[in-house]
Amino acid sequence: MTTVNAAASGTFAIGGDLTVNRLGYGAMRITGEGIWGEPKDVEGAKKVLRRAVELGVNFIDTADAYGPGVSERLIGEALAPYAKGVVIATKGGLVRTGPNKWEPVGRPAYLRQEVELSLRHLKVERIDLWQLHRIDPQTPVEDSLGEIAKLQKEGKIRHVGLSEVKPHEIEQAQKVVKIVSVQNQYNIGDRKHEDVLEYCEKHGLAFIPWFPVAAGKLAQPGGKLDAAAKKNGATVSQLSLAWLLHRSPVMLPIPGTSSVQHLEENVAAANVKLSDAEWAEIEAAAR
C-alpha cells in the first residue's frame, strides 16, 4: 500500500526561507454555509486540520474573512502550539457583511486591526505569510501595503503576498514591500492567469492556485480527464491536483475540504505520476 503523505509533492521555499511541502490545505471550507459562521461540526473541522498535519501538510492557508474569524480561530484551537515546520498563511483586506458577501477594504487602520486579530485567533506572535486578499479600488495600494510594511518591521509579519492580481500590480506592490507569493484562481480548465504564473516562475514567487480542481465540461464523466484518471487509478480531483504539481515547480495547490476522507484523497494526489505523453494528451484535451 502506498503511503499517503504531502511530502511526495516536493517542496518549495516561500520567500527563500519557509520550506513547505507543495501540496497544502485551504481552510475556507471549515466554516458555515456561505463561508459564514460556525461549521456544522466544529470537532469534525478540527479533526480535518489535525489529520492534515499528520499527513505531512505543513502549509495551511486561511483568511480572516472566512467566518469571519472562524477558520483562523479553529486553526489556533486545533493546532497551536504548532508542530515544527508548519506554516500558516492568512489574508486580510475583505470585509464581510453577510453570507457570500465580500467587499474589499484596504484602509491602513483596518488592515492593522485585521492583522492584530489574526495574530490573536491563530495564537501566533508573527504571521508567516500575510496576503492582501484583494486590492481596494478606493485605497491606493501604496497606502495599504505601506501599513503592512510597518507591521513587518514590527515583527508581526514575516512575508507578504497578494491575491487576484496581474503582473503590473505585483510590480507596483514590489515598490512598497517585498512580495513572495501570489494567490490567483487557476486550474487545468481555467488558465486566464498564465501570465501571472510565468511572472512567478521568472521571479521565484510562490503561485498558490485557489479553486485548484477542474470543473465543468472538462471534468465530466466519460471525458478525457475522467478517462485518464481511471487509467491511472485516480479520481478527476486527484488528477487535477497532480497536473498542477506537474505544471510548475512554484505551484502550491491548496485544496480545501471539511471531510477527513476527502482530505486523504486530496493528499494522495501527490503520488499520482503520469508520463510526459499522458500529460501532453491531457493538455491537448484541456485546450
Q: What pLDDT is recorded for position 283?
A: 80
Identify the CATH number of the domain in which residue 89 sits. Answer: 3.20.20.100
Candidates 66, 82, 186, 199; catalytic one: 66
| Residue at 26 is within a domain | yes
pLDDT for 224-268, tens place per residue?
788 888 888 999 999 999 999 999 999 999 999 999 999 999 999
Q: CA geometry: angle at 254 spanning 63 and 228, to 5°?
A: 155
Is residue 92 assigned to a domain? yes
Q: What is the pLDDT of residue 215?
A: 66
Does the residue 1 lie in any domain?
no
Tell whether 160 is covered by a domain: yes
Counts for the chain of helices (H) and strands (E), in that order: 10, 11
Instruction: Please report whether residue 196 resides in a domain.
Output: yes
Tell me which residue range forms the domain holding 175: 6-286
> What is the distance between the alpha carbons of residues 144 and 123, in angstroms, rounded to a whole number?
24
Q: How far apart are CA 118 and CA 148, in angstroms?
A: 13
Q: Is 107 domain-assigned?
A: yes
pLDDT digits (tens, 9 = 90+) for 60-116: 999 999 999 999 999 999 999 999 999 999 999 999 999 999 999 999 999 999 999
Mean of per-residue pLDDT scores for the chain: 95
221 phi, psi to nearest 5 deg = -60, 135
Number of domains in the chain: 1
Q: Catalytic site residue 66?
A: yes
pLDDT score of 39: 98
Query: What's the pTM value of the predicted model, to 2 decimals?
Result: 0.96
